[in-house]
Amino acid sequence: MEKEKTFLGQPRGLSTLFFTEMWERFSYYGMRAILVYFMYDAVANGGLGLPKGTAVAIMSIYGSLVYMSSIVGGWISDRLLGSNKSVFYGGILIMLGHIVLATPLGIPALFVSMMLIVIGTGLLKSNVSGMVGHLYSKDDIRRDAGFSIFYMGINIGGLLAPIIVGILGQEVNYHLGFSIAAIGMFIGLVQYYVQGKTTLKSVAIAPTNPLSAAEKKTFFRAVVLVLLALAVLFGPAAATGHLSVDIFINFISVLGIFLPIYYFTKMLRSKDVTPDEKKKVLAYIPLFLSAIVFWSLEEQGSSILALFAADRTQSTLFGINIPASLYQTLNPLFVVLLTPVFVWLWTKLGSRQPRTEVKFAIGLVLAGLSFLLLMLPSLLFGVEERVSPLWLVLSFFIMIAGEMCLSPVGLSVTTKLAPKAFEAQTLAIWLLADASSQAINAQIARFYTPQTEGMYYGIVGGVAVVVGIILYLARKPIRNLIGNIH
């Protein structure tokens, strides 16, 4: 028999998915590295001239919608398109979204672009990770390693993006930056199409649970109804010029709280979920809530901490000038550096390694500490003096050590605890924690002012540490519900 060609000892399809997601994340994080500055920079400098507070809130709402939409993307792939096509169409929408932002059409372009990227990412992100799962049988021992390699791909994209898009976007012109993001997604699409023809030709090509003709009719009717409802809800406010960014932000924040409640209630009441599976859903709830707190802090890396980078740190380090967007490389850089360390550590500890719920608690405490650390610059030097960028570097380092304890572990525990009947939506449920966290961030950002930054970091960091400790104290009952899954 011909020996199977592999990529780092993994199925060849992993290489295709790795690079597709790497380029998609390159375009996403590249765009995000400059977006906040583009929004609040003065029109004369090529920005949109929005107030800083609004710009930060839009970053969060946008981040929230991008992950919330994976519920829709998961559903479309399950019932209409299959993951393979969903990823491709999603990529096209994302590329168009960046192209729109590369045009000098101002605020309308921003909103059209956001819409395209939200729907596109909804179609692409959870499906591309789902396809990674499809490459392995359930008991293939390469599965976890495959996911770690894939997570590295995400972060290599996230690492290159602020360097290339950030420098060109901030030092030359924002629109050039957004064009580079579009080109990145284009390369990813070509690569997916060409390489995927051989490596993914039989992976997830059909919907798993296709709609019948009658269901299709009901579906399209429901789409029309939802659009009408939205028109009724927002139409009058828009027509009379009262549709403010604030109304929209509040609406999404409510959705961010409501959606997980809806999902968990649905799982706990479904007759397709066995009593044993329901216990696991119950155990998953505290982990999910902790993940919301964790992502809330982690995602502020590209909003509140981006302001810290621009306004509070000295713009040179060892004599070299650093554009603020470059700080966005720190998160993915530390993920790339620390992943091998943590894989080694968990392997070395073997069965003595902390259980999932304890790893989550450690992750939260570290995230909290990374914020508590940022209380010090204003306490020591006041808020007028710019401080060394190393404060931010150390803060990101601690945060990412926490991410290593929570994020990859979270992905795998989600796939293990999700009930069978909800399997296809599993990754969408995990992304929902990140979506909710950013819906909450859009609200708490209001409490941030440069004058009171120390208090802000102290309270937010303190909450994360306390939640981490509570989770640690609750580890026994959680473990009883989880059973013997590691």
Q: Applying CB under 6 A, does 431 fall inside the site for ligand GLU? A: yes
DSSP secondary-structure letter at 105?
Answer: -
Q: Nearest distance from residue 250's CB to ligand ASP, in Å?
A: 26
Q: Applying CB under 6 A, does 184 fall inside the site for ligand ASP? A: no
DSSP secondary-structure letter at 382?
Answer: T
- Of the residues 18, 26, 29, 186, which one makes contact with ligand ASP according to CB under 6 A: 29
- Of the residues 17, 154, 181, 182, which one makes contact with ligand ASP according to CB under 6 A: 154
Residue 431 binds which one of ligand GLU, ligand ASP, none, with CB within 5 to 8 A depending on kind? ligand GLU
Q: Nearest distance from residue 335's CB to ligand ASP, in Å?
A: 5
Token pair of 208, please? Answer: 């798993």
Of the candidates 16, 14, 13, the one whose C-alpha atom is nearest the C-alpha of residue 202 is 13
331-390 binders of ligand ASP (CB under 6 A): 331-332, 335
Residue 129 binds which one of ligand GLU, ligand ASP, none, with CB within 5 to 8 A depending on kind? none
219-258 binders of ligand GLU (CB under 6 A): none
Q: Applying CB under 6 A, does 166 fall inside the site for ligand ASP? A: no
Site string (291-330) toward ligand GLU, x via CB under 6 A:
----x-----------------------------------
CB-based contact 292:361 (threshold 8 Å): no
Nearer to ligand ASP, 160 or 267 (CB): 160
CB-based contact 211:80 (threshold 8 Å): yes
Site string (393-422) toward ligand GLU, x via CB under 6 A:
--------------x---------------
Q: Nearest distance from residue 152's CB to ligand ASP, in Å?
A: 9
Residue 332 binds which one of ligand GLU, ligand ASP, none, with CB within 5 to 8 A depending on kind? ligand ASP
Q: How many CB atoms lie within 10 A of CB 216?
A: 13
CB-based contact 55:63 (threshold 8 Å): no
Total residues binding ligand GLU (CB under 6 A): 6
- Of the residues 24, 277, 357, 434, which one makes contact with ligand GLU according to CB under 6 A: 434
Q: Applying CB under 6 A, does 88 fall inside the site for ligand GLU? A: no
Give residue 463's identity as a one-letter amino acid code.
V
The DSSP bridge partners found for residue 6 are: 11
Of the candidates 164, 154, 165, 69, the one whose C-alpha atom is nearest the C-alpha of residue 120 is 69
Helix orientation angle between 52-68 and 304-311, rounded to the nearest 10 degrees: 140
Map residue 414 onto helix, strand or coil. Answer: helix
CB-based contact 40:52 (threshold 8 Å): yes
Q: Applying CB under 6 A, does 392 fall inside the site for ligand ASP? A: no
CB-based contact 425:407 (threshold 8 Å): no
CB-based contact 68:432 (threshold 8 Å): yes
Q: Applying CB under 6 A, does 68 fall inside the site for ligand GLU? A: no
- Burial grade of 191 (CB within 10 A; 0-12, 13-18, 19 or more): middle
- Of the residues 154, 252, 398, 478, which one makes contact with ligand GLU according to CB under 6 A: 154
Nearest 5°: phi and psi at 320?
-100, 135
- For 67-192, strand residue ranges (E) read none
The residues that touch ligand GLU, with contacts defined as CB under 6 A, are: 25, 154, 295, 407, 431, 434
Q: Which stretches of the chain bind ligand ASP, using CB under 6 A? A: 29, 154-155, 158, 331-332, 335, 403
